[in-house]
Amino acid sequence: MSKRIVVIGAGPGGYVAAIRAAQMGASVTVIEDTEVGGTCLNRGCIPTKSLIASVEALAGVRAAEDYGIEVRGEIVPNVPRIYERAGKTVALLAKGIRALFKSRNISLIEGKGSLVDRSTVSVMQRDGQTSRFEADAIIIATGSNPSRPSLFPFDGKKVLTSDDALRLTTLPKSMIIVGAGVIGCEWACIFRELGVEVTMVEMMPRALATEDEEISELLERELKKKKIRLLTGVRIERMEVVADLVTASLGEKGEVSAETALISVGRTFNTDGLNLDAVGVKRGGRGEIAVNSRMETSVAGIYAVGDVTGGILLAHVASKEGIVAAENIMGHNATMDYSVVPSGIFTLPEIGSVGLREFEAKERGILVKVGRFPFRALGRAMAAGEYTGMVKVIAHGVTDRILGVHIMGPHAADLIHEAVVAMNKGMTAAELGHTIHAHPTFAEAFMEAAEDVEGNCIHLPKRQQA
């Protein structure tokens, strides 16, 4: 007998779980109250990467003379068309998910779902009708939304969330971005390239405070080159909108003003209306749904995946969690392993990372060796005119096993996957360094950095003895 599975939420955790369950013979119903694809497709990863592709093209045209190409006339970004292109990309991919559902006979119900008990989901559909679905198992994948602290007077026009930023029809002349984390830094690069004067305010001592310190330093240097003002170690005490300006009070540090403000200070978990407490689904201290390594909640037959569980808030992690949940429902024994999870940050230039940062290794008392290779010393990078940044390899000081890799530079979010495979297979830096890489490629920088762990890099000067 086929198992009946109801998935609440069609983001990268929910829709992937639904498809995997259907592949294994389940009868699957997906409940979604907005649009398939969730935050990643509709309000995050995909539309912002489409905008970044446009501003990268803009930057390329502006730098055309450096490549011996003469561009005549004024170079002007058409902002409405840039946003229109992003919207078309999102719509096409959403259509693709719906087609995948149809090919797998997955039912999509458009409405807001909530738990009735451990085997029943109630849905308030968009047409106002209420329906119920019985299930052998339920997967909650309702995701997260931008945090909206009461300190900030959000109005969607002058004081924005990252969702609001995707609905702009005209660009401001100036903007305060609160939070120099991943989302804040990506938006800063987008808006600055489009001509917006950007001031970033970050309470931590550096931008991208969770990344490796050397990578953060490189990024801060690039932000400065782009004339993005970065204020770190600063806390906003008050924000108000007066006339046409948004003003943020920084206490003893004074104040900053701009036409708009974008607030990027974290995410909140979408648990409202799910009826979790009544059904007995336990939550953690931040309101997230508590799960084990099998993605099971405290109630048998109910699973949760993705941002709503409060773990690593990345789309690809949610997708893997969805697969784990679906496989366990269908009788397999799958568990999540978070030890090797890559991440990409789509600033200009990109950042890719996986594994331990150097400061994390030191905090844990792990002896490490470090190799570095700058893109400036790489033939392909110089030929392409993309030579900002470096590859950094962190290896165990005794075993030489690769513990972490951090890249800032061209195609960093793609290049990082060689490190992912190497770490999954337990490779040492020496083994990676001995692996032949094609020349001339950007990937050679990874090989060179691995060789530099022991000071054997061919294309770097001999290290000076301490």
Q: What is the DSSP annotation of 211-271?
A: S-HHHHHHHHHHHHHTT-EEEES----EEEEETTEEEEE-GGG-EEEESEEEE---EEE--
Task: Examine residue 172 and say whether the peptide bond preceding it is cis (omega within 30 degrees of 0).
Answer: no
Q: Is the Cα torsion angle 430, 416, 390, 438 positive or negative in sign? A: positive
> 3-class SS at 89?
helix
Token pair, residue 150, equals 């009461």
CA–CA distance, 420 with 204 (Å, rounded to integer): 28
Cis, bond preceding 149 (omega within 30 deg of 0): no
The per-residue DSSP string of 401-418 comes to BEEEEEEEETTHHHHHHH
d(CA 390, CA 377): 9
Angle subtended by helix axes 45-62 and 182-193, to nearest 10: 40
For residues 183 and 208, what is the distance between their CA atoms, to the nearest angstrom? Answer: 10
Q: Specify whether 439 is catalytic.
A: yes
Among residues 332, 417, 434, 439, the one annotated as catalytic is 439
Tell me the C-alpha distance between 290 and 304, whole Å: 8
| Residue 214, CB-side half-sphere exposure with 13 Å CA sphere | 22
Residues 323, 338 contacting (CB under 8 angstroms): no
β-strands 107-117, 27-32: how paired? parallel
Active site residues: 439
